[in-house]
Chain A
């Protein structure tokens, strides 16, 4: 998942996420009977398992992303740009392809186990404490690694992109004789720390949604599996309780992120807090329940726009602040002249960049939807449906084919990633920057 332009989270984000989750759950199924009828103990246990996976995955993504970005920075500008590009590319790979690719490679090619996908075993074969411990550890680490992979790319991209937002102190540090390692790992990292914290908080809203796909593919019994089942069966009460639990999960992750990366600036604008809500998670739920299915795709498009809205508004505000509007007004330019001469040439590029960026994300989120609701493939146009067909693994034959030879899936995943990357690069080129 590629980072949107930079924006700061609202104050009390965890609380807002909890409230947002409850509101979405109630909206989906008015009344509290949904939560009462849900198997709450099971959901709580599943959520705890998912929290463990998410925490490990995000910490892995953060540490590996930071490490690779900082080492690239030390290696020079070109290396940093290359790492940034690789990160963007990695983040563009659909999570369903990562998950199925892992299954095909790990099990199909090498025959190594994934605990949650293998049949149960007879008691004495799991009696040794070492075996039991290893199985539990591997049960959690397998989805954590799979989930971490796209986020490593996102962190690499964020680290290299956001580096441009920090003050350039490298020259002065070098002049004072500060060693290279210290310049990067101490001074630069301290500059990046609050910005990185904000990036991590934005990833905390996306990671649980990716987890749904990962848990579904790996059959991990967590919150994601619960949601995947709810989406498949269009069970409103299951989805509503999942929204509430999801809001709490995200709140906990954001709180943890806030503890690790202190000193993050917050935004006071109330409408911005709307943008910092898990719209994509909610869109998946609404998409599962929507009739006709075309309306579901509309929900998804709106969710993509809403989730990037605040960031793009901030980007536009920053650009607009640097336009010589006051000077032109003082020289007698009318509102119309201002718009035509100064605002429009920049604004259309901003709109276009947002549109292209949204298209890229819509494509990536579309793969998530198809992974969870393969039957929605038929609601797409014929060329799009035939292109994305290998992503919909629904029947035993599909599973057997993918396990035996994941080439078709990887090919589609690669082409989706390439298209998404091209669109994102185009958005980066088109988007006007502040001077």
Chain B
């Protein structure tokens, strides 16, 4: 009886005591937190962390902590060294001669010309060497006039012209080219080949080579079982190729301890060129002719097909992965990134990972000190519990946190919503009308009333936050002024309230991409706002992207609402150059101005990032007064920060996970102002 009673009464007491002890220990352990630890709660599933194809902003930012690009944007928006600590542009000029002796003679003649006045520095020529029948010159300056002078020095020795050919077929050509290159002795005459997709390639052929071209066409025809077209693209006296050299920072290591080399960067670029990953930098990648790792893996040598300065920006866009991993996963899928993740070279490494959590710890290489703990698949209750018990610092997205005890904050914008005007439209052709419409647009009301996390956007053509961003002021909302401007331009309102001039009523259609509530809502509000001005606007929804693109290319629109994705590029030529204004071009608005064309060309050919801001300002000074585009607002993602989060950095209005990981900047020490002067002895 005593035993029974003891068991019946003792068991619950024992369990109660055990529960109390365990709960108390658990509570105390939860109160111990590192000051620099950041705990993030996310309702989404654990991401694959594919740095090239992030599903959302969260994955992009986590991947950015783990993986490192060659270059990176600094806090001030300038290009900063990352895996590459030095980069430089140069030009490589190649001349072909009839034979090696002539090439040597040309070399001697060139050296004699240089030596006469020591023109190495004047021509910015850094090297001149002979390889068989080729003379190769390397110029350190992209704008060097020495190229022309050097070529003039050897022109009397009759350098052979270099021809550019394009082969196209209905079947893939790469295998056919590989077989031809291996089997045919004449294939060595081809200087370089570049594949434009699977079914087309371009060849650089020096000299007169009819036999080579005939053999090549026959080989392609035989391999594809079809008639392959081989068309000449052009001819030049010498091959001039822009070259970008990136020196890999010494001491960079992957998280598995192996050293980062240029071969890794080359393998990554090769992987991206071969894959069909929809990268924003895809178009810039097309300019690459060849990539090599040089100086025993210390230098990445990239040869470009054309002079395109903004190519530099793409290296800040995607990270480098280890060559060994890319070799093991030539067709890397999300599963590969999830189950066999590549080691990164970023400031944080993955310390632990499972289906519901991810721990990132700093590697000690950079300034980052904070550790991250990501909790995925968090239910609303877990999120609330985390917020209430202060065991969470960040809830992403903010909507998952509810309202209490948190501060919403926005990520940097990735895109913005704009209205493009068709300058060929009878009413919209007038600058005054476009300006009045901009004045009558209350973007603050749009930001306030539309769903999502929206922020103000400036009128600049370029992405905000970069070193060349101008923060151009947009037209302030002033309906009275807008009406006055419109009537001043001869547009008066009729009895129905529609603005008219002598020939037209202010009526147009606004093309809106379908399937997005934000687009729809914005379009409806814009129509209502412009109606106040006297414009009658009809919304036309286009459901599929190809139809929309076709309409834009054919200029079959009056105005269109579009998302403008921000890129690290200063090239605006495709959107505003008059050569793109014809049907099928990408200058949808139809801007055609020779002065603007010159500025656009100069900007696209600018290789020096330091000179870009000036050129951007010059372009915007001409283009913005035309009001070809109306910027509305930028779209952000919002996270909720727990109000008593321990890190001061958490209070920033706009942030990234990377910015949270870095310690708050120390106050700048006061530098004593001591004026140094050269002391002269003669006075």
Interface residues of A (CB under 8 A from B): 56, 59-60, 63-64, 66-67, 103, 107-108, 111-115, 117-123, 125-126, 128, 130-131, 133-135, 137-138, 141-142, 144-145, 181-182, 185-186, 189, 217, 219, 393-400, 403-404
The answer to the question of B375 belonging to the interface, with a C-beta cut-off of 8 Å to chain A, is yes
B380 and A399 contact, CB distance less than 8 A: yes
A400 and B404 contact, CB distance less than 8 A: yes
Hey, which chain A residues are within 8 Å of B386, CB to CB? 118-119
Hey, which chain B residues are within 8 Å of A128, CB to CB? 29
A123 and B359 contact, CB distance less than 8 A: yes
* A115-B26, A117-B381, A134-B26 given; A186·B389 CB < 8 A: no
Hey, which chain B residues are within 8 Å of A121, CB to CB? 29-30, 373
Nearest to A61 among chain B residues (CB) is B12
B9 and A63 contact, CB distance less than 8 A: yes
Partner of B8, one of A66, A114, A131, A145: A66
Q: Which residues of B378-426 are within 8 A (CB) of A?
A: 378-386, 388-389, 391-392, 399-404
B400 and A396 contact, CB distance less than 8 A: yes
* A134-B22, A396-B380 given; A120·B375 CB < 8 A: yes
Cα distance, A117 to B383, chains bound together (Å): 9
Interface string of B6-17 (1 = CB under 8 A from A): 011101100100
Cα distance, A115 to B386, chains bound together (Å): 11
A64 and B12 contact, CB distance less than 8 A: yes
Hey, which chain B residues are within 8 Å of A138, CB to CB? 19, 22-23, 25-26
Cα distance, A133 to B29, chains bound together (Å): 12
* A122-B37, A125-B32, A403-B388 given; A113·B27 CB < 8 A: yes
A404 and B404 contact, CB distance less than 8 A: yes
What is the distance, in angstroms, from B353's C-beta to the closest C-beta of chain A?
Answer: 11
A63 and B8 contact, CB distance less than 8 A: yes
Cα distance, A435 to B39, chains bound together (Å): 67
Contacts A138-B25, A399-B384 given; 11 further ones with Cβ under 8 A? Answer: A60-B11, A66-B8, A107-B385, A111-B389, A113-B389, A119-B386, A119-B392, A120-B357, A142-B23, A145-B15, A185-B1
A131 and B29 contact, CB distance less than 8 A: yes
Hey, which chain B residues are within 8 Å of A117, CB to CB? 381-382, 385
Partner of A185, one of B5, B21, B29, B391: B5
The answer to the question of B75 belonging to the interface, with a C-beta cut-off of 8 Å to chain A, is no
A396 and B401 contact, CB distance less than 8 A: yes
What is the distance, in angstroms, from A49's C-beta to the closest C-beta of chain B?
Answer: 16
Cα distance, A145 to B27, chains bound together (Å): 18
* A118-B391, A141-B18 given; A67·B12 CB < 8 A: yes
A67 and B29 contact, CB distance less than 8 A: no
A185 and B359 contact, CB distance less than 8 A: no
A103 and B356 contact, CB distance less than 8 A: no
B381 and A217 contact, CB distance less than 8 A: yes
The answer to the question of B56 belonging to the interface, with a C-beta cut-off of 8 Å to chain A, is no
Q: Which residues of B626-680 are within 8 A (CB) of A?
A: none
A-B pairs with the 3 shortest C-beta distances? A134-B25, A400-B402, A138-B22
What is the distance, in angstroms, from B350's C-beta to the closest C-beta of chain A?
Answer: 13
Interface contact tally, CB-CB below 8 A: 151
Nearest to A117 among chain B residues (CB) is B385
A119 and B11 contact, CB distance less than 8 A: no
The answer to the question of B4 belonging to the interface, with a C-beta cut-off of 8 Å to chain A, is yes
Nearest to A218 among chain B residues (CB) is B381
Cα distance, A122 to B9, chains bound together (Å): 39
Nearest to A116 among chain B residues (CB) is B382
Cα distance, A305 to B402, chains bound together (Å): 42
Cα distance, A128 to B388, chains bound together (Å): 26
The answer to the question of B371 belonging to the interface, with a C-beta cut-off of 8 Å to chain A, is yes
Cα distance, A181 to B2, chains bound together (Å): 10
What is the distance, in angstroms, from A208's C-beta to the closest C-beta of chain B?
Answer: 20
* A63-B9, A64-B12 given; A137·B383 CB < 8 A: no
B373 and A122 contact, CB distance less than 8 A: yes
B33 and A125 contact, CB distance less than 8 A: yes
B4 and A141 contact, CB distance less than 8 A: no
The answer to the question of B240 belonging to the interface, with a C-beta cut-off of 8 Å to chain A, is no
What is the distance, in angstroms, from A162's C-beta to the closest C-beta of chain B?
Answer: 17
Q: List 12 A-B contacts (CB under 8 A).
A: A63-B7, A63-B8, A117-B382, A122-B359, A122-B373, A131-B25, A134-B21, A135-B29, A141-B18, A186-B1, A396-B402, A399-B384
What is the distance, in angstroms, from A17's C-beta to the closest C-beta of chain B?
Answer: 26
Q: Which residues of B211-245 are within 8 A (CB) of A?
A: none
B381 and A219 contact, CB distance less than 8 A: yes
Cα distance, A423 to B671, chains bound together (Å): 84
Hey, which chain B residues are within 8 Å of A403, CB to CB? 381, 384-385, 388
Nearest to B40 among chain A residues (CB) is A119
Partner of B402, one of A112, A120, A219, A397: A397
Cα distance, A117 to B356, chains bound together (Å): 12
Nearest to A130 among chain B residues (CB) is B25
Nearest to B30 among chain A residues (CB) is A113
What is the distance, in angstroms, from B683's C-beta to the closest C-beta of chain A?
Answer: 68
B379 and A219 contact, CB distance less than 8 A: yes
B37 and A111 contact, CB distance less than 8 A: no
Nearest to A126 among chain B residues (CB) is B29
Hey, which chain B residues are within 8 Å of A103, CB to CB? 381, 385
B26 and A135 contact, CB distance less than 8 A: yes
The answer to the question of B479 belonging to the interface, with a C-beta cut-off of 8 Å to chain A, is no
Hey, which chain A residues are within 8 Å of B29, CB to CB? 121, 125-126, 128, 131, 134-135
Hey, which chain B residues are within 8 Å of A126, CB to CB? 29
What is the distance, in angstroms, from A28's C-beta to the closest C-beta of chain B?
Answer: 26
What is the distance, in angstroms, from B296's C-beta to the closest C-beta of chain A?
Answer: 38
What is the distance, in angstroms, from B100's C-beta to the closest C-beta of chain A?
Answer: 66
What is the distance, in angstroms, from A130's C-beta to the closest C-beta of chain B?
Answer: 6
A393 and B359 contact, CB distance less than 8 A: no
* A113-B27, A396-B401, A403-B388 given; A119·B382 CB < 8 A: yes
What is the distance, in angstroms, from A174's C-beta to the closest C-beta of chain B?
Answer: 17
A122 and B381 contact, CB distance less than 8 A: no
Cα distance, A103 to B379, chains bound together (Å): 14
Hey, which chain A residues are within 8 Å of B19, CB to CB? 137-138, 141-142, 145
Hey, which chain A residues are within 8 Å of B7, CB to CB? 63
B384 and A396 contact, CB distance less than 8 A: yes
B4 and A189 contact, CB distance less than 8 A: yes
Interface string of B33-62 (1 = CB under 8 A from A): 110010101000000000000000000000
Hey, which chain A residues are within 8 Å of B371, CB to CB? 122
